[in-house]
Amino acid sequence: MELPPLFLFRKTRFYNYLFLLLTLVVFLITYSSYLVPSSPSVTSLANLIWPNPKSPKKYKEKLPFAIGETKEGCNVFNGKWIWDEKRPLYEESECPYIQPQLTCQEHGRPDKDYQHWRWQPHGCSLPSFNATLMLETLRGKKMLFAGDSLNRGQYVSMVCLVHRLIPENAKSMKTVGSFDVFTIKAYNATIEFYWAPFLLESNSDNPGKHRIEERVVRKDSINTHGNNWKGADIIVFNTYLWWRSGSRFNILQGSFDDEVKNIVEVSTEEAYGMAMRSMLRWIKENMDPKKTRVFFTSMSPSHERSTEWGGEPNKNCYNETKMIEDPNYWGSDSRKSIMQVIGEEFGKSKLLITFLNVTQLSSYRKDAHTTIYKKQWNKLTQEQLANPFSYADCFHWCLPGLQDTWNELLFTKLFYP
């Protein structure tokens, strides 16, 4: 008996669907370990975007400042937070160099739990931060942090971690223009911070007055700031927060002194990629890989939307005292497309740059922001005072706190790469 054409069509379509379904099942079984992070060795989304590159053959020799190496196969950026009663590594009141934007206890924060967490990688442990080793390594040298206010926070953390070993009359802190310079006289050394939120020249480069709505970055202008970075033995770069102004960005072709300015609008990813290529070019021309080390700190996450971690609408990090427990959490503020740009541009380069992949481990720490417990630069309105969520800072981090861990990771990668 001959089947009707419509039946044959339906039967063929059924087999097509069945074939597609079986193909999908086989694919998921085969590649599930890559697509879905497993426990306890959670592979962060940041590491899927930025795989740990193998060292090029020419860098098999000992790296500058290295005294050992991390356990083979251990990614120190994958792990979990462990409660540690021995934390913090220093007290807020013991470090006079912390800016009032980061002194949460002084400004009334009622809890201290955020200070007691230690990062524990899966499969290995971080070496204890050794301030004596760090100071001896810096003898006769310059360590520079260049970037935005989050990099300044990491810089201040580093100063706080080492300053107690230095006599009062043998250390000083000075601010000159875009520089904050911590001088260690007995070691003929400096730890410095340089304000350059985009690394390239921009209309936001004034370290005191930079709150500008229409941000503009000048193309191919790395030497405007880069000329001030020369001579550094260890450099830690960062740039991300100031690029978060939307999907498009203004690029100046020419000079800020031009009477008629030629400004073009490009995607934020294209603009960021331009900045990365300029930075890499500067590193190639100015840093000797046999004598110096270069680090790049990944994007620092913010916590502005509590709904993203299961909280109530119209709330943020204010009053948050517990961390996010979902190991796969990744907030929308940490743009994957930017992380991909970093991976692509660094992947093309043969330069040795150590990537401090702090994004995922910091994403869990909605409890560690300064929120309202900081110096407010402008007088708060009655409406703001009535609603603390409206002015809570969910970008910056209390010190002591999370950024001390960033420096423990920096210490690990500097001495045990």
> Active-site residue numbers?
149, 393, 396
Identify each DSSP E strand in 132-259 by its residue range: 142-147, 171-176, 179-184, 189-195, 216-218, 234-237, 248-252
Give the up-direction half-sphere exposure of residue 277: CA atoms within 13 A in the CB hemisphere. Answer: 11
C-alpha distances out from residue 102 to 98, 222, 302, 399, Å: 6, 29, 15, 6
**Three-state DSSP class for 400?**
coil
DSSP for 94-143, please give it.
G-TTS-TTT-TTTTT----GGGSEEEEETTS-PPPP-HHHHHHHHTT-EE
Decide: residue 33, CB within 10 A, 0-12 exposed, 13-18 middle, 19+ buried.
Answer: exposed
Q: Please compute Rg for the chain using Cα positions.
A: 24
Identify each DSSP E strand in 46-106 by its residue range: 79-83
Token reading at 324: 């996010």
Residue type, 295: F
The closest alpha carbon to 97, from 171, 151, 39, 147, belongs to 171
Using alpha carbons only, give the angle 280, 343, 293 rounded to the nearest 5 degrees: 45
Using alpha carbons only, give the angle 355, 357, 362 rounded to the nearest 5 degrees: 155
Q: Which residues pair with 144 in a beta bridge?
A: 192, 235
DSSP for 351-377, please give it.
S--EEE--HHHHHT-TTSEEETSS--S
Helices (H), 246-352: 268-286, 336-348
Which helix (DSSP H) or strand (DSSP E) does residue 295 occupy?
Answer: strand 293-297
The closest alpha carbon to 46, from 304, 403, 297, belongs to 297
* Cβ 301 vs Cβ 338: under 8 Å: no
